[in-house]
């Protein structure tokens, strides 16, 4: 299954036989609110199940960072409650830049569920094109997914540091945070020495949809990525970096690693260095 699905294709799939319909996850989330659950109650893709970033798509914040990977047993329980079934496609959407949906895509792939995509353009594209919405709270039949971690590469702090030296480590945060000019959330400002700034917002066009694969490939080449070179990504807490991994896959670079703890994990350790300024350092 390709990482992206169009609104037209999703509408057609949802209109098909009940047994062939994908499971749809509404993963709307905002750092400063309002809560995504409120937006869900106001309207959502018919049949979509609200899935919270903080309580389902991440574990408890702490030493592992602000959005560490969830415990596999907890993730399996929550995905089954959302109706996720083995062999049944899953489509995730948000209403912003696709990064939270990308986290759901990455996490399901990591859990061993390969039939997963995100809605290109998200909820905004769905409603702009006049597709139906619902205010019904969906209570799906429990799914049977078995979570088997390891389907996507995960980097720890030491591996991320080594990749910044010996391959290409992309920092998905906005440039002011990468450069250490500001740090509104985490303990220290700056970036992992050797990491290259690749703000995740550049993967989305003015229409809110993902840029074509050729444009993404050109972007990554401009950032210094060579064919066959090992590559990974991190961000503030491991969420928006998931969209970099997705963009890399769209551009033909498979197997990119994700530093799941990201800067929220790295910056907790005062013994780990922090580079500042616009250059990798």
What would the pLDDT profile of 134-185 be if each residue is shown by its tens digit? 999 899 999 999 999 999 999 999 999 999 999 999 999 999 999 999 999 9
Inside any domain, residue 158: yes
Contact 51, 25 (CB under 8 A): yes
Alpha carbons 143 and 141: distance in angstroms, whole number: 6
What mean pLDDT comes out for the span 28-48?
92
235 as an active site residue: the answer is yes
Q: Mean pLDDT of all residues in the chain?
A: 96
Inside any domain, residue 105: yes
* Shared-domain flag, residues 10 and 115: yes
**CATH code assigned at 183:** 3.40.250.10
Inside any domain, residue 211: yes
* Shared-domain flag, residues 94 and 172: no
- Out of 69, 235, 248, 260, the active site residue is 235
What mean pLDDT comes out for the span 243-272?
97
Residue 244: partners with Cβ closer than 8 Å, 6 or more residues away:
170, 172, 198, 200, 203, 233, 235, 256
Residue 81: partners with Cβ closer than 8 Å, 6 or more residues away:
142, 143
* Shared-domain flag, residues 81 and 164: no
Inside any domain, residue 9: yes
Domain that holds residue 206: 152-265
Contact 111, 77 (CB under 8 A): no
Name the domain count of the chain: 2
Inside any domain, residue 144: no
Inside any domain, residue 143: no
Inside any domain, residue 240: yes
Q: What pTM did the predictor assign?
A: 0.96
In sequence order, what E strands does the chain have? Answer: 4-5, 23-26, 49-50, 90-93, 116-119, 154-155, 168-171, 196-197, 231-234, 257-259
User: What sign has the CA pseudo-torsion 70, 72, 73, 75?
Assistant: positive
* The residue to which tokens 């989305």 are assigned: 204
Confidence of residue 30 (pLDDT cuts 50, 70, 90): confident
């Amino acid at each position: 299954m390709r990482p992206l699905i169009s609104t037209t294709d999703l509408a057609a799939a949802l209109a098909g036989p009940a047994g062939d319909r994908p499971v749809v996850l509404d993963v709307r989330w905002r750092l400063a609110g309002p809560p995504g659950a409120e937006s869900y109650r106001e309207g959502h893709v018919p049949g979509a199940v609200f899935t919270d970033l903080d309580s389902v798509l991440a574990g408890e914040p702490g030493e592992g960072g602000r959005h560490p990977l969830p415990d596999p047993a907890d993730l399996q329980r929550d995905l089954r409650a959302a109706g996720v079934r083995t062999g049944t496609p899953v489509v995730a959407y948000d209403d912003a830049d696709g990064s939270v949906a990308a986290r759901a895509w990455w996490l399901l792939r990591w859990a061993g569920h390969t039939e997963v995509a995100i809605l290109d353009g998200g909820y905004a594209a769905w409603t702009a094109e006049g597709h139906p919405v619902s205010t019904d709270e969906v209570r799906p039949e429990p799914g049977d997914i078995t979570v088997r971690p390891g389907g996507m590469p995960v980097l720890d702090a030491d591996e991320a540091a080594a990749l910044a030296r010996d391959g290409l480590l992309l920092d998905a945060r906005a440039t002011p945070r990468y450069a250490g000019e500001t740090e509104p959330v985490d303990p220290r400002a700056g970036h992992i020495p050797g990491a290259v700034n690749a703000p995740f917002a550049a993967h989305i066009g003015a229409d809110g949809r993902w840029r074509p694969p050729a444009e993404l490939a050109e972007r990554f080449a401009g950032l210094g990525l060579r064919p066959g070179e090992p590559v990974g990504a991190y961000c503030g807490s491991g969420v928006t970096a998931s969209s970099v991994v997705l963009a890399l896959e769209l551009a033909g670079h498979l197997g990119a690693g994700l530093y799941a703890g990201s800067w929220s994990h790295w910056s907790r350790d005062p013994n780990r260095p922090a580079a500042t300024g616009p250059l990798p350092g």
